[in-house]
Amino acid sequence: MSFQKPKGTQDFLPGTVEKWQYIEEKARELCRRFRYSEVRTPIFEHTELFVRGVGETTDVVEKEMYTFVDKGDRSISLRPEGTAGVVRAYAENKLYGEPDVTKLFYIGPMFRYERPQAGRYRQFHQFGIEAFGSADPRLDAEVIALGYLFYKELGLKNISVDVNSVGTPEIRAAFREKLLGFLAPMKEELCKDCQSRMDRNPLRVLDCKQDQAKFEGAPALLDSLDEDCRSHFDIVLRSLDQMGIPYHVNPKLVRGLDYYTHTAFEFKAEGIGAIDTIGGGGRYNGLVGDIGGQDQPGVGFGLGMERLVLILEHQKVDIPDRQQLDVYVIALGEAAEQEAASLLYRLREQGLAADKDYQERKMKAQMKSADRFRSRFVAILGEDELAKGEIILKNMADGSQQSIPLAEAAETAARLCKQG
């Protein structure tokens, strides 16, 4: 019997996984600059956390969660997004006791049962950040800036931000009645999902991609904001202007999760057809209290990694070669093989990427391996070299070679590699 990976999942093989490592390293390095610390939460949580944190009327909770009953008769769900688990960890571990804003980031797999398509899988990966303890709109702008700079430094082109204010729960409750008045005459013309949302969460009707053309002239939540919400949003926009971050105010942007307040945003980039959203987030004042902690304001984002990799490939962005060898060791004869094992270890001690043949092949075949591995140098050790206490070091870029003392081979190779 042969096995295949489950639908909607993928294997990350050598040649591809290096791209992911590079992206993850960029995320970690950028978070260090912005003073965000990594947090790692469980891949599964109690189902009620996501029902309360994400919203029971969202597609994520209604249709997409992987939920099961464990041996203790508890309802458990694989995490469909990162924020709820991070908020739970923040509250449970009482991080709100810290005097400064708590800044956290995560990288890891999420799970949603949905139809696989370009850049969308049932097991997918997100890089996200969450900042707790401040309602300052400038923190919203900082969060957007980190995401924008992340994409920019990876080399993505034509990145922009869609931004909106979704106000407060009280403002949305009043706006709900205005929106229902607009939608009611066209209810029968809308898709089934929109008809269902009209009864349960009508703001999410505006998020429907299928019926967008029918919503021209719909009332805008922006027009219903009170003075405090308008001021908050204006400061966010002014901060983005001051940083030179391109954005578009999109009054129909509501995001797909229920916990957002004030700022909501999405990152856009050209790359995979009609689907151009590559990440998003917003402010979620009240979520910490809803999940059971001492209430604190929060803001953050979640960025999809699969879609990012696709767009990097589509835009032909060069990612540094992570597989190139520094030194390939060729040993000819049993005595040389013994010495090569020691040399290989010393090369790696020097911080070099080094390897050798383990299939007893001829020198010509080993040189071909060095070419395939794009090795910068080849170290050749035969019986004659061993007798002299030397080794031949060949530069694969220009074909030049030199004999050097075997005892100094690792240090010499490291020096030459550092010189470029």
- DSSP class per residue in 274-338: TEEEEEEEEE-TTHHHHTTSS---EEEEEEEHHHHHHHHHHTT-----S---SEEEEE-SHHHHH
Which structure tokens are listed for 277?
Answer: 């959203």
* Average pLDDT score over residue span 356-363: 94
Burial class (CB in 10 A: 0-12, 13-18, 19+), 61: buried
pLDDT at position 275: 58
Whether 186 has a pLDDT exceeding 90, the answer reads no
* Average pLDDT score over residue span 16-20: 91
Whether 269 has a pLDDT exceeding 70, the answer reads yes
Please name which of 252, 230, 228 lies closest in space to residue 179, comparing C-alpha atoms. Answer: 252
Q: What is the 3-state secondary structure (H, E, C) of 155-216?
A: CCCCCEEEEEECCCHHHHHHHHHHHHHHHHHHHHHCCHHHHHHHHHCHHHHHHCCCCHHHHC
3-state secondary structure of 16: coil
pLDDT at position 148: 97
Q: How confident is the model at residue 256 (pLDDT cuts 50, 70, 90)?
A: low
pLDDT at position 257: 62
Say if residues 284 and 86 touch (Cβ distance below 8 Å): no
Whether 132 has a pLDDT exceeding 70, the answer reads yes
Q: Please, what sign has the CA dihedral across residues 134, 135, 138, 139?
A: positive
Say if residues 128 and 89 touch (Cβ distance below 8 Å): no
Whether 273 has a pLDDT exceeding 70, the answer reads no
pLDDT at position 258: 67
Q: Which residue type occupies 311? A: I
Instruction: Render pLDDT for 49-99 as a digit per residue (tens, 0 to 9).
Output: 998 867 665 666 667 899 999 999 999 999 999 999 999 999 999 999 888
pLDDT at position 380: 96
More confident site: 116 or 396: 396
Say if residues 282 and 110 touch (Cβ distance below 8 Å): no
Please name which of 223, 212, 207, 220 lies closest in space to residue 186, comparing C-alpha atoms. Answer: 212
Please name which of 130, 33, 25, 35 lies closest in space to residue 81, comparing C-alpha atoms. Answer: 130
* Average pLDDT score over residue span 89-112: 94
42: which residues sit within 8 A by CB, 6+ positions away?
79, 85
pLDDT at position 318: 87
% of residues, the chain, pLDDT over 70? 96
Residues pairing with 263 in the sheet:
165
Instruction: Render pLDDT for 279-288 as a digit per residue (tens, 0 to 9).
Output: 999 999 988 9
Q: What angle do CA 319, 323, 328 make, to 5 degrees?
A: 145
Crossing angle between the packed helical segments 137-154 and 17-34, to the nearest 10 degrees: 150
254: which residues sit within 8 A by CB, 6+ positions away?
164, 166, 203, 204, 206, 207, 221, 260, 264
Lowest mean pLDDT, pick from 48-52, 189-193, 232-236, 276-280 = 189-193
Q: Where are the beta strands (DSSP E) in 47-200?
A: 67-69, 75-78, 102-111, 123-132, 160-165
The span from the CA of 394 to the CA of 379, in Å, is: 6
Q: Which residue type occupies 241? A: D
Instruction: Render pLDDT for 311-348 as a digit per residue (tens, 0 to 9).
Output: 998 889 988 877 789 999 999 999 999 999 999 999 99
Mean pLDDT (the chain) is: 90
3-state secondary structure of 35: coil
Domains annotated on the chain, with CATH: 17-167+225-314 (3.30.930.10), 327-419 (3.40.50.800)
Residues pairing with 69 in the sheet:
75
Say if residues 330 and 366 touch (Cβ distance below 8 Å): yes
Q: How confident is the model at residue 359 (pLDDT cuts 50, 70, 90)?
A: very high
Q: How confident is the model at residue 101 (pLDDT cuts 50, 70, 90)?
A: very high
More confident site: 15 or 203: 15
**Cβ–Cβ contacts within 10 Å for residue 41, how many?**
18
Whether 266 has a pLDDT exceeding 70, the answer reads yes
| End-to-end CA separation in angstroms for the chain | 50
